[in-house]
């Protein structure tokens, strides 16, 4: 028996560092792997990307996205995964960029020495800096139905109700 859904979502959001993000420009789909940090209540994913990247251009054209987060090497079944859909946008307001920049780097690199190795100045993320911070608001998410798989190897997902998504602040 796997842990409750909320604990599983929390484990994925706390320990997985990358998501495969699915975008489209209105005609052609695209998938990109991005390094994210999770923010809770409401559940959001925050990442940085070059503004010229294909997924960034897609988000500018069409904000609806989907994606998956997964981890392997876990106790018990050995893996867990989450799929989600939602709306993504670039953060454009300078004061918001500065605030989310700090959140992203503090959560992504809690060790100050490591953070300094990767830290880019906030100005990199607005105006002509060439990069943007992106915020994805998760509207629906599903977990792999591990219990069902262990019974009859049926590969299904179970929707995670918003009210049991982890409440920890991030």
Distance CA(140)–CA(28), nearest Å, equals 22
User: Domain ranges in the chain?
Assistant: 5-164
Q: Which residues contact 22 (CB under 8 A, 6 or more apart)?
A: 29, 30, 31, 65, 66, 67
> So what's the pLDDT on residue 162?
66
What is the CATH topology of the domain spanning 5-164? Pnp Oxidase; Chain A (2.30.110)
88-126 tens-digit pLDDT: 999 999 999 999 999 999 999 999 999 999 999 999 999
**Entry pTM:** 0.90
4-41 tens-digit pLDDT: 788 888 889 999 999 999 999 989 999 999 999 999 88
């Amino acid at each position: 028996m796997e842990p409750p859904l909320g604990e599983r979502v929390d484990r994925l959001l706390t320990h997985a560092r990358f998501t495969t993000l699915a975008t489209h420009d209105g005609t052609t789909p695209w998938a990109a792997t991005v390094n994210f940090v999770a923010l809770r209540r409401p559940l959001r994913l925050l990442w940085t990307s070059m503004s010229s990247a294909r997924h960034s251009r897609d988000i500018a054209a069409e904000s609806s996205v989907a994606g998956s987060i997964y981890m392997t090497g876990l106790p018990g079944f050995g893996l867990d995964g989450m799929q989600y859909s939602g709306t993504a946008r670039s953060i454009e307001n300078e004061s918001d960029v500065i605030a989310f920049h700090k959140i992203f780097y503090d959560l992504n690199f809690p060790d100050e020495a490591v953070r300094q190795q990767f830290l880019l100045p906030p100005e990199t993320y607005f105006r002509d800096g060439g990069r943007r911070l992106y915020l994805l608001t998760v509207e629906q998410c599903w977990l792999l139905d591990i219990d069902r798989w262990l019974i009859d190897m049926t590969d299904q997902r179970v929707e995670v109700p918003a009210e049991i998504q982890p409440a920890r602040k991030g």
